């Protein structure tokens, strides 16, 4: 009997956590205010972590907390207190890349430890080393293929996790310090300035000519068609990158990969027209061109994203449902402007989206709103099946 691999989604804040869980993620990974790699993102306070864990557990999902910076001694001083908090609230695992942090976690808690991809674990021997350090799961480097991951799992006896979707660091993770030297920001403690996405003028020594190119930026990973390979290889967890990305992203990737995984487990194949629908959905969220990168064979020249950074997305979320009064209205928090008469799409937890033409848009004091403003609350006609945290979106103009 086939066992589904875990779908592990990113959650940059509490709303995204709830969205990811409700749309089908088996687990989410989040960051506290310190110790992670996303200093610019919102991250979770103590109470938010507690609330997030309770919410996820109520919905049979797990919460992993990232502590994956290459921490300095001063960072470690306050870590034990945070660890005992995480243990008390029932966090399911911590994701760590630094051996000092691993040792601290083991000394001060019984938390399960997952090795972050930041440690670039690439082979069986390396996995055995980390196993000896008390790690239960390794998030393998993005350079590792599915067959290699299967072998690492078999030979090391560890759980393995591979990335299945999202932006990719071009460097071996943990092996890029461009920001440290050029921007004064430690990329291994959350300060990456994404210098690999810049346009460069390149002079090759023997070529005499200058070339302008985006030569060190990676396309985004998309592994949906490889779900059969992941499952048959017994890969324990499939991770989606993107704690900094939107609720639309967290919701869509959770929903799409959940549906595809469930389909494969039920039918033993992905030979269905739905695959086109799922791929279409993954084009509706912000993304660069997609690649399977190194999931089957080492990433080649076609994995380089040679364009200027720009948002490629077909759909935008215009609101998140906050409350519903059946038969009357949905109260939504507006994320992008829309007007009465527009047709919006409700993204339910499962299944196809539902279109609705708006007969009215009113503010919360019930006055008509000719054009909604982002960051405000409005009432729109009730939509069958709408629930708090459902996303409402429309095609980009």
Partner 1 sequence: MKYITPVFDVHQFNLAYQEGVREFLIAPTKLSRFGKLELREASDFALSIKEKNDVTVVLEWDALYCQNKFSQLINELKSFNFEVFDEIRVQDPGVFGWVLKNLNQPIQLNLETGNHNLEAIKNWASYGKKRISRLILSPELPGNIITEYRKNLDVPFELMGIGRILLFYTPRELLSPLSNDKREVLEGSASSEESPHSGFQLLQNEHGTFMFNPKDQSLLDQIDAVEMAGVAHLRLDLRFHDYQSLFPFVMSALQSGKTDDLKSNWPVKFFAGFFRVNKTDALFKKLKNRKIVRQDQNYLGVVLDVIKKETMGIKLKTRELGLSAGDTIEIHTPEGRVKKQKIDQLFNSKGESISNATAGQIVFMKHIGGVSIRSSVYKSQQA
- Contact residues: ligand SF4, CB under 6 A: 169-171, 176, 178, 187, 192, 194-196
Short-list 316, 282, 317, 246, CA closest to 13? 246
| Number of residues in contact with partner 1 under rule CB under 8 A | 105
Q: Is the CB of 171 or the CB of 270 nearer to ligand SF4?
A: 171
- The nearer residue to ligand SF4, 171 or 265, going by C-beta atoms, is 171
Residues 5-34 that bind partner 1 (CB under 8 A): 14, 33
Write out the binding residues for partner 1, residues 195-234 only, by CB under 8 A.
195-196, 198-207, 211, 213, 215-216, 218
Closest contact distance (angstroms) between CB of 45 and partner 1 is 5
DSSP 19-55: HHHHTT-SEEEEE-SSSSS-TTS----HHHHHHHHHH
Q: Which one of ligand SF4, partner 1, none is in contact with 72 (Cβ closer than 5 to 8 A by kind)?
A: partner 1
Least Å distance, CB 37 to partner 1, is 11
Q: Nearest distance from residue 200's CB to partner 1, in Å? A: 4
> Residue 144, interface with partner 1 (CB under 8 A)?
yes
Name which of ligand SF4, partner 1, none residue 164 binds, using a CB cut-off of 5 to 8 Å depending on partner kind.
none
Contact 67, 96 (CB under 8 A): yes
**Nearest CB to partner 1, comparing residues 101 and 317:** 101
Q: Which of 172, 160, 127, 122 is nearest to 238 (CA)?
A: 160
Q: Does 371 bind partner 1 (CB under 8 A)?
A: no
The item of ligand SF4, partner 1, none sharing an interface with residue 206, based on CB under 5 to 8 Å by kind, is partner 1
Structure tokens at 308: 């200027």
Cβ 267 to partner 1 shortest distance, Å: 31
Interatomic CA distance for residues 265 and 271, integer angstroms:
13
Smallest gap from residue 5 Cβ to partner 1 (A): 19
Candidates 188, 246, 252, 292: give the one binding partner 1 (CB under 8 A). Answer: 188
Distance, CA of 344 to CA of 160 (rounded, Å): 40
CB of 197 to ligand SF4, least distance (A): 7
Residue whose tokens read 């207190």 = 81
Within residues 293-352, the interface with partner 1 by CB under 8 A covers 294, 298-301, 303-304, 322-323, 325, 328-329, 331, 333
4 interface partner picked from partner 1, ligand SF4, none, CB below 5 to 8 A per type: none
Cα angle 304-308-313, degrees, rounded to a multiple of 5: 90
Note whether 15 and 389 are within 8 A (CB).
Answer: yes
Full DSSP string of 81-117: HHHHHHHHHT--EEEE--HHHHHHHHHH----EEE-G
Judged by CB under 8 A, which stretch of 186-194, 244-252, 262-270, 350-358 contacts partner 1?
A: 186-194
Task: Compute the distance between CA of residue 46 and CA of residue 91 in angstroms, rounded to an integer.
Answer: 12
* 278-306 exposure pattern, b = at least 16 Cβ within 10 A, e = fewer: beebbebbbbbebbbbbbeeebeeebbbe
Q: Considering only residues 98-127, where is the footprint of partner 1 by CB under 8 A? A: 98-104, 120-127
The encoded tokens of residue 262 equal 């469930």
221 binds, among ligand SF4, partner 1, none (CB under 5 to 8 A by kind): none
**In the complex, what is the shortest distance from the CB of residue 12 to partner 1, in angstroms, rounded to a whole number?**
12
Q: Phi then psi for 195, rounded to 5 degrees?
A: -65, -20
Q: How far is CA 313 from the centre of its chain?
A: 16
Choose which of 31, 174, 242, 319 interacts with partner 1 (CB under 8 A).
174
Segment 234-253, which members bind partner 1 (CB under 8 A)?
A: none
Q: At a CB cut-off of 8 Å and minimum separation 6, what does 152 contact?
A: 121, 123, 124, 127, 138, 140, 144, 158, 160
Interacting partner of 192 out of partner 1, ligand SF4, none (Cβ under 5 to 8 A depending on kind): ligand SF4
Name the minimum Å distance from CB 301 to ligand SF4.
Answer: 17
């Amino acid at each position: 009997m086939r066992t589904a691999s875990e779908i592990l989604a990113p959650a940059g804040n509490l709303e995204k956590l709830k969205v990811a869980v409700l749309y089908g993620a088996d687990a989410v990974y989040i960051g506290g205010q310190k110790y992670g790699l996303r200093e610019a993102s919102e991250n979770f306070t103590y109470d938010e972590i507690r609330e997030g864990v309770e919410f996820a557990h109520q919905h049979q999902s797990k919460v992993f907390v990232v502590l994956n910076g290459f921490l300095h001694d001063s960072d470690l001083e306050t870590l034990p207190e945070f660890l005992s908090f995480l243990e008390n609230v029932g966090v399911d695992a911590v994701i760590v890349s630094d051996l000092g942090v691993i040792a601290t976690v083991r000394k001060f808690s019984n938390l399960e430890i997952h090795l972050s991809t930041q440690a670039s674990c690439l082979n069986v021997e390396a996995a055995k080393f980390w196993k000896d350090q008390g790690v239960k799961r390794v998030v393998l480097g993005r350079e590792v293929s599915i067959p290699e991951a299967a072998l690492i799992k078999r030979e090391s006896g560890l759980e393995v996790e591979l990335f299945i979707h999202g932006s990719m660091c071009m460097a071996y993770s943990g092996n890029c310090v461009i920001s440290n030297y050029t921007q004064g920001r430690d990329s291994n403690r959350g300060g990456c300035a994404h210098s690999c996405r810049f346009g460069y003028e390149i002079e090759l020594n023997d070529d005499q000519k200058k070339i302008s190119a985006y030569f060190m930026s990676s396309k985004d990973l998309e592994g949906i068609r490889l779900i059969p390979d992941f499952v048959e290889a017994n890969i324990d967890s499939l991770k989606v990158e993107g704690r900094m990305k939107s609720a639309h992203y967290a919701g869509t990737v959770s929903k799409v990969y959940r549906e595809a995984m469930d389909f494969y487990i039920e039918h033993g194949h992905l030979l269905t027209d739905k695959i086109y629908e799922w791929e279409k959905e993954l084009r509706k969220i912000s993304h660069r061109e997609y690649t399977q990168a190194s999931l089957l064979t080492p990433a080649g020249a076609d994995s380089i994203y040679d364009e200027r950074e720009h948002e490629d997305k077909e759909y935008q979320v215009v609101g998140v449902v906050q409350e519903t009064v059946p038969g009357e209205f949905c109260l939504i928090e507006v994320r992008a402007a829309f007007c009465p008469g527009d047709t919006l799409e409700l993204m339910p937890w499962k299944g196809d989206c539902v279109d609705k033409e708006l007969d009215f848009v009113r503010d919360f004091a019930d006055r008509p709103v000719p054009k909604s403003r982002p960051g405000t609350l409005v009432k729109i006609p009730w939509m069958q099946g709408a629930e708090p945290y459902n996303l409402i979106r429309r095609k980009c103009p």
